[in-house]
A = this chain, B = another copy of it.
């Protein structure tokens, strides 16, 4: 496999990795239509806030979500809506749902 192509697949894999966690998928679905702070998301999921902060950081780094600061809070929103399309398609094919 040539180097340039290999690099492409490596980069794409990073996106999938960033999405490959239940909490992060929950975040994506949840910030689809409402902006939420780290603390609010933490309470919804029921994990340590430091863990949530890291999950958000992973999604942010890969530009899957974007955060806006308002006063003390950072509100997140989904930046790649097509993630949701893919998920519903994949689930249809795989689970016949």
Contacts and interface: CB of A to CB of B under 8 A. Distances in A.
Nearest to A85: B86
A94 B62 contact: yes
Contacts of A91: 11-12, 15
A79 B90 CA distance: 10
Interface of A: 1, 5-6, 9-13, 15-17, 19-26, 29, 44-46, 62-64, 79-80, 82-83, 85-87, 89-91, 93-95
Contact of A12 (B25, B45, B62): B25
A44 B1 CA distance: 6
A63 B9 contact: no
A82 to B, nearest CB: 4
A13 B9 contact: no
